[in-house]
Structure 1
Amino acid sequence: MDHPSGNTQRLVTIAARCGYTAKGMIYITIGWLSMMAVLGMGGSNGGSTEAINKLATQPFGSVLIALLAVGLFGYTAWRLVQAFFDAENKGRDWKGILTRLGYVLSGLIYAGVAINCVELLLDSGGGSSSTSSQTRTVMAHPGGIVAIFLVGLGFLGVGLRQIWRGWHHSYEKNWHLNEMTRTQRLVAANVSRVGLTARGIVFMIVALFLCLSAINTDPDDARGLGGALSAVAEQPFGPWLLSLVALGLMAYGGYCLVNARFRDVDA
């Protein structure tokens, strides 16, 4: 496909930067709520749905949720541009195709979060169902158990990839480093390393529960992001571990904000 230019590229740039900002705010909220739960200050261990519900209760909550919805739809658009225009030159070999399919899946996931925001604004009683209920629906179909196991392996791969990226700084090739000061580079690199590592660990926990769910043919074993955080809290030294993960997820939100400002979003 021809690469967009001119006004189209400006729209892509706006969509991508708004999208990374919205994604960052969600992860910062998730981490903050988990930290508040550790401190006994009314927080909770939840995922994106709980985060947007909490934001909706804040002053000007409807405005915040509306902006989140716009930003997340923008992020979906950017992911689709990455996939269909091969914005990052992933190519058409099997590895490139898988990576680009991953962009599509990521975009669709955040489109679902954006739709949740719209449903909340419309007070339609919408909202995403739990991970266990979604898993039960998939398992009810032929091959569903295998599909859940493969999804679990997919989360495991993404989690490992996130940790690898964090420690090898591979994300820096997508940044306009020449626009950053030395201090900004140092801060951004450390925040990104912590954030990507924390998100990778959480994804690996989600993968474990999905694979166990498939092996035991029990959808109630499946857990999403919120369930993974609760599992961390249930371990020995759970509050301390959860505090570290919460800080890490907030750092991942910071990594998204760095992307919003400095990432190359040339389609």
Structure 2
Amino acid sequence: MNAMRTPEEGARKVEDAAEEVTEHPVFEGIARGGFVMSGLVHVLVGVIALHMVLGGSSQEADQSGALQTVASAPGGNLLLWVGGVAMAVLVIWHLAEAWFGARWRKRARDRARHLASTLGKAIVYGALAVTVLRSAAGAGSDSDKQTSQLTGDLMGNPAGRVVIVAVGLVVIVIGFFHVYLGASRGFEDQLRVPRGRSVAGAVRVTGVLGFIAKGIALVGVGLMFGWAALGADPQKATGLDGALKTMAQLPAGGILLAVVGAGLILYGIYSVLRARYAPM
């Protein structure tokens, strides 16, 4: 008769089983589909932004507008369900990577850095997965309006205004980090592209320009939050759509908006390439 397992042994067996599931080719294949869905959303946001430059788009230049475009296409709602599920699986994969990847890192600093990076990605893709699935279920909404309403609720007390400023600063830091990743080509560490192939050049160009453009857009969103807090005006706290529209009103803003829009399209293409070459 086998000896009864200790709680520690049972927990380790569960962990090993979970690790086997997340490393299964089918699971990884579905998770890679999450990168593709993210890429599609970024491409559509970029296209809407370019239409804004030409004055020919009434869609919101953010995730909501992009998902409305997908939903209105033939078979679009099915695509949203498939993409949303794939992104949810990608979130699970990142959470598993955060846990299992930290186990073999000996230095506390390396573990903390790995956890922060991987959990951050899980949060980002998790938020997008929820948005996609809500749109698939017909619960899409105006993200800028929701942001302004939430900001208005927080404006009622000094602590809430501090929270708004903190959120703005975090978004600005994330934006500058994207710019840094693009300019330094640090994103190349996230991929395993065979050397000497033309696709390596495509990854480099789309990654550099895409990360920089997305970083500029995020900095704009963060500044809108700071502006709202300083002016005590929740209507100024908008998401990506509001930030891009404000950007368009600046001197030479049309050119800047066109550059950012084109860059978001390139970032979307990079995300699709990442689905193929990201190590998992």
Displacement of 1:200? 0.5
Query: What amino acid sits opposite 2:70 in the alignment?
Result: L
Instruction: Assess, with a 3 A threshold, how the Cα gap between structure 1 residues 101 and 127 changes in structure 2: closer, same or farther.
Output: farther
Which of 271, 276, 279 is equivalent to 1:256? 271
Per the alignment, in what secondary structure is the counterpart of residue 23 of structure 2? helix
Matched, 1:160 2:176: yes
Which structure 2 residues correspond to residues 81-120 of structure 1 after superposition, within 5 A?
A: 81-86=96-101, 92-93=108-109, 97=112, 100-101=115-116, 103-120=118-135
Higher relative contact order (CA 8 A, sep 6+): 1
Displacement of 1:96? 5.6
Displacement of 1:114? 2.8
Which of 202, 208, 226 is equivalent to 2:217? 202
Instruction: Assess, with a 3 A threshold, how the Cα gap between structure 1 residues 232 and 127 changes in structure 2: closer, same or farther.
Output: closer
Displacement of 1:204? 0.8
Ranges in structure 1 where 5+ consecutive residues have no aligned partner: none
Instruction: Assess, with a 3 A threshold, how the Cα gap between structure 1 residues 90 and 132 changes in structure 2: closer, same or farther.
Output: farther
Matched, 1:76 2:83: no
Corresponding position of 2:241: 226
Corresponding position of 2:207: 192
Which deviates further from its counterpart, 131-140 or 199-208? 131-140
Per the alignment, in what secondary structure is the counterpart of residue 123 of structure 1? coil
Instruction: Assess, with a 3 A threshold, how the Cα gap between structure 1 residues 54 and 232 changes in structure 2: closer, same or farther.
Output: same
Instruction: Assess, with a 3 A threshold, how the Cα gap between structure 1 residues 40 and 142 changes in structure 2: closer, same or farther.
Output: closer
Query: What amino acid sits opposite 2:34 in the alignment?
Result: G
Cα-to-partner distance string for 1:19-50 (whole Å, 9 max, x where unaligned): 11111110001001111222344353421111
Cα-to-partner distance string for 1:124-181 (whole Å, 9 max, x where unaligned): 5667553211222344467222121111111111111111111111121221133x54
Corresponding position of 1:25: 40
**1:45, 1:230 within 8 Å by CA — same for their partners in 2?**
no
**1:49, 1:113 within 8 Å by CA — same for their partners in 2?**
no
Displacement of 1:12? 4.8
Cα-to-partner distance string for 1:169-227 (whole Å, 9 max, x where unaligned): 1121221133x543111121011000000001111111111122222333222121111
Instruction: Assess, with a 3 A threshold, how the Cα gap between structure 1 residues 217 and 37 changes in structure 2: closer, same or farther.
Output: closer
Query: What amino acid sits opposite 1:73 in the alignment?
Result: A
Matched, 1:9 2:15: no
What count of residue pairs does the alignment treat as equivalent? 263
Instruction: Assess, with a 3 A threshold, how the Cα gap between structure 1 residues 132 and 91 changes in structure 2: closer, same or farther.
Output: farther
Larger radius of gyration: 2
Instruction: Normalising by structure 1, report the TM-score.
Output: 0.85
Corresponding position of 2:6: none
**1:90, 1:100 within 8 Å by CA — same for their partners in 2?**
no
Equivalent-residue separation in structure 1 for 2:174 and 2:62 (angstroms):
18
Corresponding position of 2:162: 146
Structure 1 residue runs of 4+, over 6 Å off?
none
Equivalent-residue separation in structure 1 for 2:161 and 2:253 (angstroms):
31
Corresponding position of 1:169: 185
Query: What amino acid sits opposite 2:180 in the alignment?
Result: W
Instruction: Assess, with a 3 A threshold, how the Cα gap between structure 1 residues 124 and 228 changes in structure 2: closer, same or farther.
Output: closer
Per the alignment, in what secondary structure is the counterpart of residue 179 of structure 2? helix
Displacement of 1:59? 1.5
Query: What amino acid sits opposite 2:152 in the alignment?
Result: R
Equivalent-residue separation in structure 2 for 1:45 and 1:123 (angstroms):
17
Instruction: Normalising by structure 2, report the TM-score.
Output: 0.82
